[in-house]
Amino acid sequence: MLRTSDKPTKSRVKALLLGSVFALALGGIVAGETALIFDSPANAQNLSQPQTQAVFSFADMVQRVQPAVVSIRVKTDETVGHGEGDVEGLPPGLTPDSPFYDFFKRFGMPGMPGNRDHGPQHRYGLAQGSGFFISADGYVVTNNHVVENATDVKVVTDDGTEHDAKVIGTDPKTDLALVKVTDGKDFPHVTFAANESRVGDWVVAVGNPFGLGGTVTAGIISARGRDIGAGPYDDFLQIDAPINKGNSGGPAFNAGGEVIGVNTAIYSPSGGSVGIGFAIPARTAQQVVASLMDHGKVVRGWLGVQIQPVTEEIANSIGLDKAHGALVTEPQDNSPASKAGIEAGDTILSINGLEVEDAKDLARKIAAFPPKTVVDVTLWRDGKEVIVKVNLGELPNEQVASSQKSGGSEEHTSLDDYGLTLAPADAVGAGDSGAVITEVDPGGKASERGLRQGDVILQAGGQTVEGPRDVSKAISGAEKAGKKAILLRVKSGDSVRFLALPLGK
């Protein structure tokens, strides 16, 4: 028999406590203080009544900034020639999933300019993305990949009005672009955040996913400084606010309605959002947009060095207390670096007193300076710090590095403890100087460190290598000095890199 009582039992009180906490969790973040009373079941039942406290919401902020967010529709033109792999004679809009695709691919279409012997054809496509106004006169920020190859750009505002626009400038290295509405008027616009956002801060993404304009999602900043291999200046914010195809170029807002990033990419095995998105930080976007507005292109500082990361082994071999900085593998000819006396083997530790974390960080720091800026570069050279002044140049479109040394000649040399056989580079046509690797033991130390047949050792222990004898001498000297590894500068094909070869048998 079940017995009832007006007085709650011990187990019943416990259930009320859990239920109260659960009800609060469903309520979200509430303003003001909330008192909980558990003296009777009747009071507990009141928790199911409508709450008078204001629930935390982004609605006011979104209502304020959403009119500045736009959809971007782009007509693109891709000229197709007659190179290997080109598909000729296809009707416009015919896709590979069409039942007629194979027919037209094989036989072409009579009279079409894409057929053989008719020269290149033009294919037109449509792309769409997002963007946002940053000025009242119609400047819009978006992604480079949204407007790339554009022949016609339309900006669609939140109220559905379509405006003609033109591309002012693009920057493929950061995937940013600036466009301007040509029939300008007093457009609502937003501003970039002045302060750095933090991991755990709220983020609200507004954009045009899958063509669904005016879509708002929310989350937090999950991480900072992400390098996803998109370009030389990767420094993305990772966010978990859902973004999808079509969100590209749209803004990521903080809780105050300031733009903290430009949504650019997602990590997705499925093609849709899985909670990992990437946004270009506001500070990067501001610098790039300002340059595009002033010059129509991005003007960056240029140091003129080829660099690589400093590993723990490399740091140990050159006497650094920790693995940091950027190791110079080659200063480029007639570059600001070479004119300032920066040499291969130098490790760049800081710029104007700001520590350089790694090779990517150096690229970002130098790019942030305008050309003709004089900076103090702190180097690690021969076991001590050296400061040189460098007058930065303007980053060219292409960078070329070469190495020319004087020659030498001698016989083959075997370094059995390291699994290497060396020959003079000039004796086998591998260059004027250096020691070329003719044989590598697959189980030896050299092979483990990535040395391969045909690689040319240019320096060993900071000393120029004229031939195999110099490598052997440098290794013996490093072993006698009690070093754990020796730093080798190695040319592989057209690239030059440093690696640390462990010493001892």
The 3 state secondary structure assigned to 122-185 is EEEEEEEEEEEECCCCCEEEECHHHHCCEEEEEEECCCCCEEEEEEEEEECCCCEEEEEECCCC
DSSP state of 258: -
- CA–CA dist 302, 396 (Å, integer): 8
Tokens of 177: 């672009």
Instruction: Determine contact, residues 326/358, Cβ cutoff 8 Å.
Output: yes
* Side-chain-facing half-sphere of 290: CA atoms under 13 Å: 11
Instruction: Determine contact, residues 362/356, Cβ cutoff 8 Å.
Output: yes
- CA–CA dist 389, 387 (Å, integer): 7
Q: Which residues pair with 268 in a beta bridge?
A: none
- Residue in 30, 74, 84, 37 with CA at minimum distance from that of residue 53: 30
- CA–CA dist 67, 450 (Å, integer): 55
Instruction: Determine contact, residues 320/295, Cβ cutoff 8 Å.
Output: no
- CA–CA dist 387, 364 (Å, integer): 20
Instruction: Determine contact, residues 136/75, Cβ cutoff 8 Å.
Output: no
* Size (the chain), residues: 505
Q: Is-catalytic flag, 189?
A: no
Burial of 201 (0-12, 13-18, 19+ CB in 10 A): middle
Tokens of 152: 């016609």
Tokens of 369: 């300076």
Instruction: Determine contact, residues 191/256, Cβ cutoff 8 Å.
Output: no
Tokens of 149: 């190859």
Residue 376 — left, alpha, or beta (φ > 0 → left; ψ -120 to 50 → alpha)? beta
Question: Residues 6 or more apart from 242 whose CB is under 8 A from it?
Answer: 205, 217, 219, 273, 275, 277
Q: Is-catalytic flag, 324?
A: no
Catalytically annotated residue among 171, 175, 240, 470: 175
Q: Is-catalytic flag, 175?
A: yes
- CA–CA dist 393, 380 (Å, integer): 23
Catalytically annotated residue among 222, 248, 273, 317: 248
- Residue in 423, 392, 386 with CA at minimum distance from that of residue 408: 423
Catalytically annotated residue among 71, 130, 145, 163: 145
Instruction: Tell me the one-letter amino acid at 352.
Output: N
- CA–CA dist 468, 450 (Å, integer): 19
Catalytic center residues: 145, 175, 248
